[in-house]
Structure 1
Amino acid sequence: MVLWPVVALVGFLVLTGLVIAMGTSTTARYEREQRAAAPSTTRASAGEPVGARAV
């Protein structure tokens, strides 16, 4: 009598975990591709160091 609700709950949890795992790996791959395609804007591209003052 209690077996089928337990089977349904375990199946739901397994499928939820599968969806989360697939989404996590896909998101990580997407972010890697975006970082590789985008130019680096965080580094200083000028010849002077960050925080240097003009004299």
Structure 2
Amino acid sequence: MLLWPAVTLVGFLVLTALVIAMGTSTTARYEREQRAAARRETAQAGATVEAVGMARAA
């Protein structure tokens, strides 16, 4: 009698853990990509400022 409620509870907990694990890894990947994009934009902006400064100095 108590077998099916126990199986249901265990299945629910397993699926919940799976969803949390997938969400955590996806969020981590998204944040890495956002940080990399921000670094690229900063590097490009810095290179543009240096090029303009060198043109004025010359």
TM (norm. structure 2) is 0.66
**CA RMSD after TM alignment:** 0.9
Deviations 1:15-45, CA, capped at 9 Å, x for gaps: 00000000000000000000000145xxxxx
Question: Greater share of helix residues, 1 or 2?
Answer: 2
2:23 is matched with: 23
Query: Which one scores higher on RCO, CA 8 angstroms, separation ≥ 6?
Result: 1
Percent of aligned pairs with the same amino acid: 85
Runs of 4+, deviation exceeding 2 Å: none
Gaps of 5+ in 1: 41-55
Tell me the matched-pair count: 40
Q: TM-score, normalised by structure 1?
A: 0.70
